[in-house]
Structure 1
Amino acid sequence: MKRALIALFGVAMVLAACGGNTGATNPSTGGAKVPTPPAASLTGAGATFPQPFYAAAFFAYNKKFSQVTVNYQAVGSGAGIQQLTKKTVDFGASDVPLKSSEADAMGGSDKVVQLAGTLGTESLAYNLQGVSDGQLKLTPDTIAGIFLGKIKKWNDRALTADNSGVSLPNQDIRVVHRSDGSGTTYIFTDYLSSVSPEWSSKVGKGKSVSWPAGQGASGNAAVATTIKQTPGAIGYVELAYVLQT
């Protein structure tokens, strides 16, 4: 799968309800050893955006401290917030900080801790035969036009004008977007709202929006797979999924 020359940065937030002391003391300064944590089994749910990092981090932590296991369900930011609100998980993850209404539903901002967990890159991925990785050039206007459903063919004049020397086919553009509540969607639609007045007024930004065009898939991995399997497809995903798929 190939990626276009656009990069949007997002911060995955770790959300946890305030609780009692786990029994492990904080390490002192001056090079002291990290204390051995007590046995624990934690369950989390939320964003698919940081899943590749979490999988590696939790595996490495368990390898060092086998008495601690972390089960993380990559179900999307919206679902993660819902599960933490219902207290069915120990922590949630979202690419977007909690709204005041979401924090209130958890008992108030003093009842939930929000921490920046990791920084990631969001990119546009496409499946276009004969066009190399990174060769396709897209402007803010053409990106908005594609996702608004106004630019429907890969050889549209707006695209060929920005891609001199690249042979773009007379092929339908297949937009792929998230179908679930997603922080990745929030990051992308926030960008579109900032560069396109038409997008801002007609669609707006959010973890879920009413998409003017395209087909939906649940989670970054499913979006990446759909793009890979669909000739002429384009969609937005966290960069790690482009590199892995």
Structure 2
Amino acid sequence: MKSLFTKSLVAGAIALSTVTTALAADITGAGATFPYPIYAKWAEAYKAKTNNGLNYQSIGSSGGIKQIKAKTVDFGASDNPVKFEDLEKDGMVQFPAIIGGVVPVINVDGIKPGQIKVTGDVLAQMFSGYIVKWNDKQLADLNPGVKLPDANITVVHRADGSGTTAIFTDYLAKVNANWKKDVGAGAAVKWPAASSIGGKGNEGVAANVSRVKNSIGYVEYAYAKKNNMTFLQIKNKNGQFVSPDDETFAAAAAGTDWSKVPGMGTFITDAPGAKSWPITGASFILMYKEPGNKANAAEVIKFFDFAFKEGKKMAADLDYVPMPDATTEFIRKNVWTKINTK
């Protein structure tokens, strides 16, 4: 049976794509599943206010980059930021729209959310197949008093090109030398664990973890929260075990000065700070400087301007972190001004 959250995503997609009398002003986007819950919420509010709709295809970051390059959508969305030199080559700009956290989630009987603690190194060993049992000594030593089953670990990963994967593997490569050497980081990697299955989108990973006993996967926190999934605590760079929420995501992002990064594209994983969630990242929007449909490009800018100004509480309610005001002002003055909408 599909989860209620999956059903709501499908319903939301149908609602967002409904043809209205304002069809000419409807805008299209495609890409990352990481921000889909908040984009759907923003789109609902924007539609109610302006009668202008958004049809967003939640197909994964790699798909979003392909769609914008093919010029079949008004904007692409990716959690895996595009390099500045590639943006320049393709005549595009990029800006972060929302901050969130990638969270390891598990399906182990009797374990409550946050009850199991891991280090980044141990997490990498679990996903690489070096640690194959839930009662492995390294896990047991980190979790005295927790009854861990003598059961094999099944790894659930993304089957599609994914910015969520890019954020997750960027973190694992920073905290585990073997992962960096043998697997690396990126939107798609060769998953080394012998016992592993793939899922399409954050939705697919969440569904598979919920279905497969003794599994572990990774999803954007909104999916973990809505599906009542069991997450792990992680030891951060400052040596503190932290749980995922909007406060720990904000703590991780606090030291990032987006204006100093060419193309604004950067990862914020393994960030310092006592409260920082170590697998935090942003989701980015890609647009052409010379868009094929200038009116739609102008509407995309209006949509995200609305989101930045009026969508903060909606973001916080889903445990995303809105972009800081200084960053959104930088985007208005230094990114959107490069897009020719006239």
Q: TM-score range by the shorter chain?
A: 0.7 to 0.9
The equivalent of 1:69 in structure 2 is: 53
- Matched with 1:223 is 205
Question: Which amino acid is the alignment partner of residue 53 of structure 1?
Answer: I
- For 2:125 and 2:154, locate their aligned partners in 1 and report how far apart those are by CA, in whole Å: 13
Q: CA deviation at 1:99?
A: 2.6
1:100 Cα deviation from its structure 2 partner: 4.8
Aligned to 2:187: 207
Write the deviation string for residues 6-59 of structure 1: whole angstroms up to 9, x where unpaired: xxxxxxxxxxxxxxxxxxxxxxxxxxxxxxx99501111000000000000011
Structure 2 counterpart of 1:58, which letter? A
1:92 match: 76
1:60 to 45, 51, 68: 45
- Does the residue aligned with 1:113 lie in a helix, a strand or coil? strand
Identify which of 173, 176, 179 aligns with 1:196: 176
2:140 maps to 160
Deviation at 1:131, TM superposition (A): 1.1
More strand by share: 1
1:177 CA drift (Å): 0.6
1:140 corresponds in structure 2 to 120
Amino acid at match of 1:77: S
- Going from structure 1 to structure 2, the CA distance change for 1:209 and 1:141 (only over 3 Å counts) comes to same
Correspondence 1:11-30 to 2 at 5 A: none
Q: Distance in 1 between matches of 2:153 and 2:86?
A: 37
TM-score by length of 2: 0.58
| Structure ranking higher in helix proportion | 2
For the residue of structure 2 that corresponds to 1:124, the secondary structure is strand
Q: Which of 153, 166, 180 is the equivalent residue of 1:173?
A: 153
Taking the aligned partners of 2:135 and 2:45, their CA distance within structure 1 comes to 47
Paired-residue identity, %: 48
SS in 2 for 1:123: strand
Give the match's secondary structure for 1:172.
coil
Confirm or deny: 8 A CA contact 2:121 2:172 kept in the other structure: no
Q: What is the RMSD computed on CA atoms of the aligned residues?
A: 1.6
CA contact (8 A) 2:87 2:93 kept: no
What amino acid does structure 1 have at the position aligned with 2:206? Answer: A
Inter-partner Cα distance in structure 2 for 1:157 and 1:121? 28
Aligned residues: 204
Contact 2:25 2:53 in 1 (8 A): yes
Question: Which letter maps to 1:145?
Answer: Q
Displacement of 1:103: 2.8
TM-score, length basis structure 1: 0.80
Instruction: Mark the runs of 5 or more structure 2 residues left unpaired by the alignment.
Output: 1-21, 228-342
Q: 1:5 corresponds to which residue?
A: none
Quote the Cα distance in structure 2 between the aligned partners of 1:54 and 1:177.
23
